[in-house]
Structure 1
Amino acid sequence: MTGHRPPPSEDSTTDLVRWAVFSCVLVPVVLVLYGTSLAGATGTALGLAAVTAVCRILLRQSERGAARLAQEARAPHRGHRHRSGGGPRRGGRHTGGSTPVG
């Protein structure tokens, strides 16, 4: 089976978000089972959903920044041309001007 597999960091972020969503559903159910009012459980669910959404946005933004840094580290630096000696105009001895050797 050949398919596109996301990078490990993206995969772990997706798993983290799935667990957070699961918690957003589970926590209010447990609160209602233990006697909290439906309004209180709903408020808790909304609060957890908001925190989860913000964390997801921050994680995605962090992933993009890390990917950008990794890409810059792999890419050659533009504008920096390093020439080493070896050409006719680099290094070596010059034999006095343009007089022919004869």
Structure 2
Amino acid sequence: MSGPRPKPDPHSAQDSAGDVVRWAAFSCVLVPVVLLWYGTSLAGTAGTALGLAAVTAACRYLLRRSERGTAPPATPHGTHRGAPHRAPHRAPRGAVRGGGRHTRGTTPVD
């Protein structure tokens, strides 16, 4: 069973994302129809349809964004194009860092 594995087709990922979006759009139509069929109010059905449409639009946006990739191409020196190189932020010596749990004087006493 070992042998050369077929390379994944880059278009298949786009097709599957498109299928997901098409099914979601179909659901945005089907769910309100079913709700009306079972006697839900028109206002409730409209609110559900708008909510489903908003979720579908957000998912479509995220799917398209993930297909494109979010990292910009790197330059030959390993830095991102247009981004100046900056050293990581470090606190000066002797500086007190925030955070942690400070309970002195603020804990209520029963």
Give the structure-1-normalised TM-score: 0.59
Aligned length: 69
SS of the residue 1:7 aligns to? helix
Matched, 1:49 2:53: yes
Taking the aligned partners of 2:43 and 2:67, their CA distance within structure 1 comes to 36
**Structure 1, residues 2-38: CA drift from partner, whole Å, max 9, x if none?**
xxxx711111111100000000000000000011011
**Runs of 4 or more above 3 Å deviation:** 77-80
- Equivalent position of 2:38 in the other structure: 34
Over the residues paired in the alignment, what is the CA RMSD in angstroms? 2.4
Taking the aligned partners of 2:32 and 2:43, their CA distance within structure 1 comes to 10
- Equivalent position of 2:14 in the other structure: 10
- Equivalent position of 1:84 in the other structure: none
Taking the aligned partners of 1:65 and 1:41, their CA distance within structure 2 comes to 36
- Give the unaligned 5+ runs of structure 1: 1-5, 81-102
- Give the unaligned 5+ runs of structure 2: 1-9, 79-110
Give the structure-2-normalised TM-score: 0.55
